[in-house]
Chain A
Amino acid sequence: MTISSDEPELRALMLAGLDGDEASHKSLLTKLSAYLRAYFKGQLARIGRGPSDAEDLVQETLIALHTRRHTYDRSQLLTPWVYAIARYRLVDYLRRTKSANMDVPVEAAEGVFANDDVSIVDSGLDLTKLLAQLTPKMRQAIQFVKLDGMSVSEAAVRAGMSQSAIKVSVHRGLRALSLLVRERSPS
């Protein structure tokens, strides 16, 4: 699939997600994960790394796409924004793992969207272990709102915190999670 055929649909999902539509946001992340998987598998294959490492990068990029989604300019195309983030995560990953072959060719944004791949492998990331490294406040907020699916007001009552404190804890928790994922020791 190419950008031209997919961009309008992905962009519509992104805009709906930015307005708070859960289903659109999940659907966007699912569709993007297939493209990202194919892209990272291809790039990592060149340096002899397997699908599990690629899946790490897919998940890392999904977290980045989600926690930095306010940096998307609604008036612009979506796919170049996604490509820039995917490429940045790849370059950062290669630098972190000190790969010998560090140049990532600059392609058009189509590079990410050239193929999709839905063959799922588990990543090397362990969500339970990652969550255990957050502060209790953040962990609890993410558990209630993100994993148990409570509304913010329900979670606020359960945790004995204000609603805005819950929102802030979820937000900070996801940021902290992306940092933990980035700084984990290479597997």
Chain B
Amino acid sequence: MKTDDLINLLGTNIEPVKGGQLRNTLLAALAVGAAGALCLLLLIFGAPGEAIGREYLGLKVLGLAFTLGLVATGASYLLRAARPGEPGRRPLIVIGLLFFALLSASVITLVLSHPAAWGGMIFGPQWAACLICIPLFSIVPFASLVWALRKEAPTNPVWTGAVAGLVAGALGAAAFTLHHSAGSIPFIVLWYGGPIVVCTVVGAILGPRLLRW
């Protein structure tokens, strides 16, 4: 085939491109993913209303702030990584800082409390449920993010996949937080942060396979 023929084919009767297309696709995928995670939560555990006890309200808010903070920062990275070129590292640094801040806070909490209480703080109720449910809840968000990113042109599939996994995991964790409050900060780091990290690693592994274009 002659390149001029191809250029003619590509350039004939082109459609105008709207500016916000990429952004809208990704935000829609995020919304679909969040809705999917919430539906699964309702299906398995029912309405979260009763679970909101006053005792753990602070920790619930902290858990939500942490997970939704990860979602927002990760999404801002994906908006750039979906375009060809260098996405910049600032969002990745913010993500690292969020984890570091929570990790420091949990170390401080442990130091301030009696060692006899550590076991109860770390293995709070339902730690195993976190381990299973957060990755489970993240499947729909991950699938919808990958669907959206495949329409775009990410040139760094490992990092893009990793952050898509992180955002999906954090959405799953945010949904789970609605149902079940952590009993302590170390619990949040371990049983919410841990599964999110697992989702991130899985995303990094799947990225090169799923995001090729």
The answer, yes or no, to whether B43 is at the interface (CB within 8 Å) is no
Q: Which of B8, B9, B13, B17 contacts A70 (CB 8 A)?
A: B17
- Residues in A whose Cβ lies below 8 Å from that of B2: 120, 122-123
Q: Which of A20, A58, A142 contacts B3 (CB 8 A)?
A: A58
The answer, yes or no, to whether B45 is at the interface (CB within 8 Å) is no
Closest chain A residue, CB of each to CB of B155:
A88
Q: Does B213 contact A149, Cβ atoms closer than 8 Å?
A: no
**B136-153 interface code vs A (CB 8 A; 1 in, 0 out):** 000000000000000011
A13 to chain B, nearest CB (A): 11
Q: Does B152 contact A71, Cβ atoms closer than 8 Å?
A: yes
Q: Does A68 contact B213, Cβ atoms closer than 8 Å?
A: yes
User: How far is B125's CA from A18's CA once the two chains are assembled, in angstroms?
Assistant: 55
9-residue interface stretch from B78-86, B100-108, B177-185:
B78-86
User: How far is B22's CA from A74's CA once the two chains are assembled, in angstroms?
Assistant: 12
User: How far is B5's CA from A63's CA once the two chains are assembled, in angstroms?
Assistant: 12
The answer, yes or no, to whether B112 is at the interface (CB within 8 Å) is no
Q: Does A55 contact B13, Cβ atoms closer than 8 Å?
A: no
**Contact status of A71 and B12, CB under 8 A, knowing A63-B6, A84-B155, A120-B3:** no
- Residues in B whose Cβ lies below 8 Å from that of A170: 13
- Residues in A whose Cβ lies below 8 Å from that of B9: 127, 142, 146-147
Q: SS class of chain A's interface: helix, strand, loop or mixed? A: helix
- Residues in B whose Cβ lies below 8 Å from that of A174: 10
- Residues in A whose Cβ lies below 8 Å from that of B86: 80, 84
The answer, yes or no, to whether A112 is at the interface (CB within 8 Å) is no
9-residue interface stretch from A1-9, A22-30, A42-50, A132-140:
A22-30
Q: Does A92 contact B3, Cβ atoms closer than 8 Å?
A: no
The answer, yes or no, to whether B50 is at the interface (CB within 8 Å) is no
**A140-170 interface code vs B (CB 8 A; 1 in, 0 out):** 0010011101111000000000000001001
Q: Which of A85, A120, A146 contacts B84 (CB 8 A)?
A: A85
CB-contacts of A62-77 with B (<8 A): 62-64, 66, 68-74, 76
Q: Does A145 contact B155, Cβ atoms closer than 8 Å?
A: no
Q: Does B21 contact A70, Cβ atoms closer than 8 Å?
A: yes
Q: Does B16 contact A29, Cβ atoms closer than 8 Å?
A: no
Q: Does A33 contact B7, Cβ atoms closer than 8 Å?
A: yes
User: How far is B211's CA from A92's CA once the two chains are assembled, in angstroms?
Assistant: 12
- Residues in A whose Cβ lies below 8 Å from that of B16: 18-20
Q: Does A26 contact B7, Cβ atoms closer than 8 Å?
A: yes
The answer, yes or no, to whether B11 is at the interface (CB within 8 Å) is yes
Q: Does B5 contact A81, Cβ atoms closer than 8 Å?
A: no
The answer, yes or no, to whether A180 is at the interface (CB within 8 Å) is no
The answer, yes or no, to whether B212 is at the interface (CB within 8 Å) is yes
Q: Which of A19, A71, A126, A152 contacts B153 (CB 8 A)?
A: A71
A79 to chain B, nearest CB (A): 10
Q: Which of B10, B17, B21 contacts A62 (CB 8 A)?
A: B10
User: How far is B12's CA from A145's CA once the two chains are assembled, in angstroms?
Assistant: 7
14 contacts between A and B (CB under 8 A): A17-B14, A22-B12, A25-B14, A30-B4, A37-B3, A63-B10, A73-B83, A80-B85, A80-B86, A85-B84, A122-B2, A150-B13, A152-B13, A178-B213
6 closest A-B pairs by beta carbon, nearest first, are: A26-B11, A20-B16, A84-B84, A84-B85, A68-B153, A66-B10
Besides A19-B16, A84-B85, 9 other A-B contacts (C-beta < 8 A): A17-B14, A18-B17, A25-B11, A26-B7, A29-B7, A30-B7, A58-B3, A70-B21, A71-B82
